[in-house]
Chains A and B, each alone.
Chain A
Amino acid sequence: MSGSCGRIPPPFPDNEDQEAESDTRVLDSDEDDDDEGEDIFTGARSNPITPTSAPDEGDIFSEEGSYIRSDVHHATNGLHPDEEELDLFTEATVELTLTNTTSQGRREIIGPTASACNTTQVPNSILKPSIVTKTTEELEEEESGDQFELNIAVTNPEKIGDGMNAYMSYKVSTQTTLPMFLNKTFSVRRRFSDFLGLYEKISAKHSLLGCIIPPPPQKSVVGMTKVKVGKEDSSSAEFVEKRRAALERYLQRVVAHPSLLQDPDVREFLERDELPRAVNTQTLSGPGLLKMINRASDAVNKMTIKMNESDNWFESKLQEVENEEQLLRRLHAAVDSLVNHRKELCSNTAVFSKSVAMLGSVEENSALSRALSQLAEVEDKMEQLHQQQAFSDFFILAELLADYIRLLGAVRCCFEQRMKVWQRLQEAQSTLQKKREAEAKLLWANKPEKLQQAKDDINEWESKVSQYERDFERVTCTVRKEVLRFEKEKARDFKQHIVKYLESLLHTQHRLVKCWEAFLPEAKAIA
């Protein structure tokens, strides 16, 4: 903990003290950010931590997905039990194929915030360097700030039990230098309902404050049933991989949020060996969650008209969020179509390859026959390339969009929370008004014995009103901060993923060139 700068260690779960927190955040002062005008950091600013700007404040949602390219036919990562904990993160990217696997998600938390991932943690040299290098600013920031690290990986899906009572158990591994944890590296096994249970707990506590809570991955009856029933085909392996990756991204987003990281439930989730079984997660299944979010949206829509905003930042921002969600849905649909067509192309190429091989086998001219077999092999390689590209299409692009569509839903929930708090304030104010009127009536009716009660009531409600006013101020402030941070993270996340995706395309095209270049002399050799 080389604290060379004025960094205050994160305040402990005392969420009332929002202002103290805000002082310790690395400030976006230099960021070319489209701040909606207001300076939300009202407290005295501490000196900027680094001499340069800190573009990756690493706020809530930046994350590097851990796209573990396990062979879709394997359900586990084949991890050996006697392997060191540290190696887990290497093993998590095991079973590489011809193309790269993208890097594993790393979170590096400097004080209460986080920044992008760290090269030294990624052991595998095959991984694309671009995802893994930091900007010079990030490096400088690390140098001078308190270096707290937290890396999470979700690996080793294992089926426990049989038949309809079976479930998948996932290994959640943490590697950290944060002092609040008991160990530096540790892992636990969790099942899907545990993740949902965590969401429920976090949500209950933090959403009232206006925080944007990352939504958990969706339940899938169809997907899980196939797994339970023991269907050992590629589609159930794909489902497990998809879920594993989604769970990992979910946890990474949770710990990237400074307040959530402080939450003891989160710590317990990561550390504690046995968790009590989470019940009542039905409400949090895919459709249930969606319904909740939609209700929130409706409530907000009804209320927005009544709310008298001092500036219409909230109104217009909510509108923006809703629009963006729609646009992302359409984009997601287009990407989904691409994934499917690419998979089709993959299987059609495989079929064609076999057909060309057959043709080559009956061809009487021996040089042409050989060339045709070579062509069949080229097409076979192309099939593999298409498959890997489809994988990238899905995990880099489609899942990103799906995540953000749900995150935007969570943002809407956050606005709804603010609405609720406002509503509570309105109700208290009107109750206070009624109490005052009641008092006035009593005075007029000259009933002194009831007057004291009336006065007590008024006092009670006056203090409630002022409490709720403070609450509303605070929620307003938090929501604003959260949204701005979310937007920055979203921009960064998208940019990273777009670059990663383009790199996957680039890789595929490189391989294509090589395949065809290898074939060319064969074609020329036909005589």
Chain B
Amino acid sequence: MQLLVHSVSVDLNNDASLVIDIPDALCERDKVKFTVHTKTTLSSFQKPEYSVQRQHEDFIWLHDTIVETEEYAGLIIPPAPPKPDFEGPREKMHKLGEGESSMTKEEYAKMKQELEKTVQVHEVFLQRLSSHPMFRKDRNFQIFLEYDQDLTVRRKNAKEMFGGFFKNMVKSADEVLISGVKEVDEFFEQEKNFLLDYSSKIKDATAKAEKMTRSHKNVADDYNHISGALNNTAADNNTAFKKHLEKCAEVFEKLRKVEDRMASDQELKLTELLRYYTRDIQAAKDLLYRRARALADYENSNKALDKARLKGKDVAQAEENQKQCLQKFDKLSESGKKELTSFKARRVVAFRKNLIEMTELEIKHAKNSVSLLQGSIEILKSN
């Protein structure tokens, strides 16, 4: 079953030299196949324009290879998109595949909304990469965009090579590490405090937004049930009463659509925004971890050098080690500072864009409701 979903992305396609979008997604059984469409003027690519089919796992592979790349340690790695979650509709999809049952309008609408969300988040991931001066040059990224075959084989190889070592290492680092580090740099000290605080607040806001959105959708569902019950009551009736009931049922049905749209737009623009930045904050924190680790390594290398000098053994080696650790740490600090600064700006821009879009959409939907209700009230009164 094909569901075409127009992307609702945070527009990161500022640079025309590499423009990526996901114009549609195919929903098959419980797999989603994204169509990744690229337009480029860069010579490093073989063709100026092409489309490939990718699955969620391919995105994860790409993310993981980037995380594992030592070179990118000083950058904020764009967070991996979460796995598409279809819950109930998934079972339906299975059944559909086997040729049984059919989806109700409700289920179809829910699937479409989920699909919209997942397309948006996968698209943003790619666009973050394409808009970053270093990531866009990544070889694997290019393969991801260009390679017209299945990436499954490569994915398997990658797993064998890295074994997820570095990733695990980063993940297991806890906040004690960064908060414990003696920070000499004012900038990083401030950033650390801000990120820790912000991280917990945004996680909380995301959870609360999710609950609110769910309630909103429940209300829309109730309108649907009321509409059905009104129609049933009308069917049994044979008086003038019948027309009123039918009209009322119609109103509830239309209201449901609007309410549903309101809920899902709020989800797409606000809840998804908060979700995304919760993950992005985590990516920024990961950067701080890596820098803190580099600092720890440097401090250790200093101690090792002192010991070596005392013992008079392997001094040169220790000196070399110390130099490298310092280099690494400086590099991370320098690029880290740049990344975190642009992260701030990016965050503000994204919030602004999404809040404006959400507000405009909510106004539009509420106005639709107003005219729908006004019209219906007129009709009912005039009867």
Contacts and interface: CB of A to CB of B under 8 A. Distances in A.
Contacts of B255: 505
Contacts of A503: 373, 377
Interface stretch (A113-121, A260-268, A342-350): A342-350
A364 B194 contact: yes
B60 interface: no
Contacts of A334: 222, 225-226, 228-229
Given A331-B233, A341-B219, A498-B248, A349 B363 contact: no
A338 B220 CA distance: 9
Given A348-B212, A506-B370, A355 B204 contact: yes
A499 B215 contact: no
A32 B241 CA distance: 11
A328 interface: yes
A348 B381 contact: no
Given A351-B211, A355-B205, A502 B373 contact: yes
Interface string B196-215: 01100110110011011011
Interface size class of A (residues with CB under 8 A): 35 or more
A365 B344 contact: yes
Contacts of B212: 345, 348-349, 351-352
A327 B229 contact: yes
B362 interface: yes
B14 interface: no
Given A510-B370, A516-B362, A520-B363, A330 B232 contact: yes
B52 to A, nearest CB: 36
Contacts of B51: none
B232 A327 contact: yes
Contacts of A495: 241, 244, 380, 383
Contact of B381 (A130, A344, A362, A375): A130
Contact of B352 (A34, A342, A523): A523
B201 A359 contact: yes
Contacts of B229: 327, 330-331, 333-334
Given A487-B239, A513-B367, A338 B226 contact: yes
Contact of A509 (B222, B228, B370): B370
A338 B241 CA distance: 23
A74 interface: no
Interface string B355-383: 11001101100110110011011001101
A362 B198 CA distance: 6
Nearest to A345: B215
A512 B362 contact: yes
Contact of B355 (A32, A34, A499, A526): A526
B369 A341 contact: no
A499 to B, nearest CB: 5
Contacts of B230: 331
B359 A498 contact: no
B152 interface: no
A400 interface: no
Contacts of A323: 236
Nearest to B197: A362
B300 interface: no
A487 B238 CA distance: 11
A363 interface: yes
A502 B240 contact: no
A344 B225 CA distance: 18
Contact of B194 (A338, A344, A362, A520): A362
Contact of B377 (A371, A502, A512, A524): A502
B351 interface: yes
Contacts of A519: 359
A513 B370 contact: yes
B215 A338 contact: no
Given A352-B205, A526-B355, A365 B370 contact: no
Given A349-B212, A351-B211, A358 B204 contact: yes
B216 interface: yes
A48 B92 CA distance: 63
A331 B236 contact: no
Nearest to B223: A338
Interface in A469-527: 487, 490-491, 494-495, 498-499, 502-503, 505-506, 509-510, 512-513, 516-517, 519-520, 523-524, 526-527
Given A327-B229, A337-B225, A523-B356, A351 B380 contact: no
Contacts of B362: 512, 516
B1 interface: no
Contact of B380 (A320, A335, A487, A498): A498
B373 A345 contact: no
A327 B236 contact: yes
A342 B351 CA distance: 28
A526 B346 CA distance: 12
A512 B366 contact: yes
A368 B363 CA distance: 21
B324 interface: no
Contacts of B221: 341
Given A334-B229, A368-B351, A506-B370, A344 B208 contact: no
Interface in A17-67: 32, 34
B26 interface: no
A113 to B, nearest CB: 20
Nearest to B374: A506
A503 B251 CA distance: 12
A8 interface: no
A324 B370 contact: no
Interface in A119-164: 130
A509 B369 contact: yes
Contacts of A363: 198
A375 B205 CA distance: 12
A356 interface: yes
A352 B383 CA distance: 43
A517 B363 contact: yes
A372 B363 CA distance: 18
B205 A341 contact: no
Interface in B76-130: none
Interface of B: 194, 197-198, 201-202, 204-205, 208-209, 211-212, 214-216, 218-219, 221-223, 225-226, 228-230, 232-233, 236-241, 244-245, 248, 251, 255, 344, 347-348, 351-352, 355-356, 359-360, 362-363, 366-367, 369-370, 373-374, 376-377, 380-381, 383
17 contacts: A32-B240, A34-B239, A34-B240, A323-B236, A328-B233, A330-B232, A338-B226, A348-B212, A355-B201, A355-B208, A359-B204, A491-B241, A502-B373, A505-B255, A509-B366, A523-B355, A523-B359
Given A359-B201, A502-B373, A520-B360, 16 more contacts: A34-B238, A327-B229, A331-B229, A338-B226, A345-B216, A352-B205, A358-B205, A362-B201, A372-B351, A487-B239, A491-B240, A495-B383, A502-B376, A506-B374, A513-B370, A517-B363
Interface of A: 32, 34, 130, 320, 323-324, 327-328, 330-331, 333-335, 337-338, 341-342, 344-345, 348-349, 351-352, 355-356, 358-359, 362-365, 367-368, 371-372, 375, 487, 490-491, 494-495, 498-499, 502-503, 505-506, 509-510, 512-513, 516-517, 519-520, 523-524, 526-527
